[in-house]
Amino acid sequence: MEFTTQHFIALAPLLITSATIIVVMLAIAWRRNHSQTFLLSVAGLNLALLSILPALKVAPLAVTPLLQIDTFACLYMALILVATLACVTLAHAYLGDGGSGYPGNREELYLLILMAAAGGLVLVSAQHLAGLFIGLELLSVPVYGLVAYAFFNKRSLEAGIKYMVLSAAGSAFLLFGMALLYADSGSLSFVGIGQALAATGLPSSLAQLGLGMMLIGLAFKLSLVPFHLWTPDVYEGAPAPVAAFLATASKVAVFAVMVRLFQISPAASSGVLSDVLTIIAIASILFGNLLALTQSNLKRLLGYSSIAHFGYLLIALVASKGLAVEAIGVYLVTYVITSLGAFGVITLMSSPYNGRDADALYEYRGLFWRRPYLTAVLTVMMLSLAGIPLTAGFIGKFYIIATGVQSQQWWLVGSLVLGSAIGVFYYLRVMVTLYLIEPNLRRHDAQLHWEQRAGGVMLLAIAVLAFFLGLYPQPLLNLVQQSGLAG
């Protein structure tokens, strides 16, 4: 195929991110400078984000058989780049400058995050199983290094090894599933598979087995029950900004490609597979929420809660008609905002680096009297995760419930209501802890370095955004409606 200017405009977000990776790598080779590396990464990500606007003008456009740049891909590219920008800002605050900061090399963290973000951009625009696999591996491999980045901390190293081994197992299932699908349909493109499956009416047992194995591979990455066992350990062991990246950008990319696959080949979500997805959704919602009840570690609690949130998202995927794609878009945007806020607070509490992150719940007792701004942000995030009205999380949950009701999935809607009720309990427990009065406690707001101030300003902006979208969600709804899979 011939490359035209339009192809380059469509690919601009990915090309600019890749160019940023090379520039940052050369800059590190030339001279190690933490602030310079940070500024180069932020500049590149902002340029990539701005380049989505011209890309929208030429969309929808198939760039090679592997990638399809349409409004759906552009929305999720923007979401991944915004999440990556937030994680890079948090990483700068976390690693710190000067003697009190992180003891090892700091610059490579940015390089790995940028590489993982590039993988995410490939993944959300994939329309071919080869594109899906390349994107997934480009996203996953840097994350192994990121999770184990604080390698002198035993938990971080353990988390990195666990994630690598289980992720490799997930990839093996995925590849085997792809091989079976190809054997049955004779095509690797999503559209070709969809047409082959639709032509035979119900998918053959070979195709269903292939799709089932692919689902196992993707469920590993999304930490859905029963493939969730790595999640709390990895969230706890990974440095806080990395946990934020894992919970947001990484999962959004995988879920977006799953939506594209299931929407383009509707036969994929019919028959046995639809029942399997329903069972996984109910199990994820109930297990995630019930296990979060017993946690006294904030990162583990958020890990279990993310299992439940992706269970909620599966409801829209099972429904897969009517409001489904719109509901998924709204929910993912609100989930990313709230997760970044919650992990951001842990990040700013944990820096400068001192051996382990401040993620135990007792460290947040009476936080309101020491760090009122951080407490305000964490309170809004907990309310939003619980789906309380006037926060962004409520709008997301409302859409998921509407989708479930519209397609009459009553079991799923019931489990969502039950799961949300359990969720309110443990989110409120965290909030109550923040406002407890400790004996002999003097009120003061800790002095922050400038890089932490930048993180703090970003967190306040996230909290304001969560409130704004809860009060006036129309801009978000318009954005998501324009990014349907029709392009």
* Residue 274: predicted pLDDT: 82
* Residue 322: predicted pLDDT: 66
* Residue 410: predicted pLDDT: 87
pTM value is 0.93
Which residues, at least 6 apart from 122, have a Cβ–Cβ distance to it below 8 Å?
A: 14, 67, 131, 134, 135, 138, 139
Strand spans (E) along 31-144 = 61-63, 67-69
Residue 298: phi and psi, rounded to 5, are -65, -40
**Whole-number average pLDDT of the chain:** 87
Which residues, at least 6 apart from 311, have a Cβ–Cβ distance to it below 8 Å?
A: 224, 225, 280, 281, 282, 283, 284, 285, 288, 415, 419
List the one residue out of 293, 434, 427 whose CA is nearest residue 363: 434
Which residues, at least 6 apart from 414, have a Cβ–Cβ distance to it below 8 Å?
A: none
Rounded to whole angstroms, how far apart are CA atoms 427 and 343? 14
- For residues 103-129, give the mean pLDDT: 91
Q: Do 265 and 278 touch, CB atoms closer than 8 A?
A: no
- Per-residue pLDDT tens for 408-428? 888 889 999 999 999 999 999
Q: Domain residues of the chain, as ranges?
A: 5-481
322 compared with 39, residue with greater pLDDT: 39
CA distances from 87 to 16, 82, 230, 459 (A): 18, 9, 21, 11
CA of residue 441 relative to chain centroid, distance: 37
CA distances from 192 to 113, 128, 256, 485 (A): 33, 9, 19, 16
- Dihedral of alpha carbons 186, 187, 190, 195, sign: negative
CA of residue 50 relative to chain centroid, distance: 21
* Residue 99: predicted pLDDT: 47
Q: Beta-carbon neighbour count of residue 60 at 10 Å? A: 16
SS3 360: strand
- Per-residue pLDDT tens for 133-184? 999 999 999 999 999 988 878 888 999 999 999 999 999 999 999 999 899 8
CA of residue 256 relative to chain centroid, distance: 10
Range in 116-120, 147-151, 329-333 with the lowest mean pLDDT: 147-151
Q: Do 207 and 197 touch, CB atoms closer than 8 A?
A: yes
Q: Do 23 and 40 touch, CB atoms closer than 8 A?
A: yes
Which residues, at least 6 apart from 340, have a Cβ–Cβ distance to it below 8 Å?
A: 83, 86, 87, 90, 244, 248, 462
Range in 213-227, 245-259, 358-372, 383-397 with the lowest mean pLDDT: 358-372
* Residue 443: predicted pLDDT: 53
Task: Answer yes or no: is pLDDT of 18 > 60.
Answer: yes
Percentage of the residues of the chain whose pLDDT score is greater than 90: 47
- Per-residue pLDDT tens for 424-478? 999 999 999 888 876 665 555 455 555 567 788 889 999 999 989 888 888 888 8
Task: Answer yes or no: is pLDDT of 264 > 80.
Answer: no
351 compared with 278, residue with greater pLDDT: 278
Residue 390: phi and psi, rounded to 5, are 75, 10
Range in 152-156, 268-272, 369-373, 425-429 with the lowest mean pLDDT: 268-272
Q: Do 336 and 248 touch, CB atoms closer than 8 A?
A: yes
* Residue 190: predicted pLDDT: 87
Task: Assign 485 a pLDDT band (cuts: 50, 70, 90).
Answer: low
Range in 61-70, 152-161, 313-322 with the lowest mean pLDDT: 313-322
Task: Assign 46 a pLDDT band (cuts: 50, 70, 90).
Answer: very high
* Residue 487: predicted pLDDT: 40
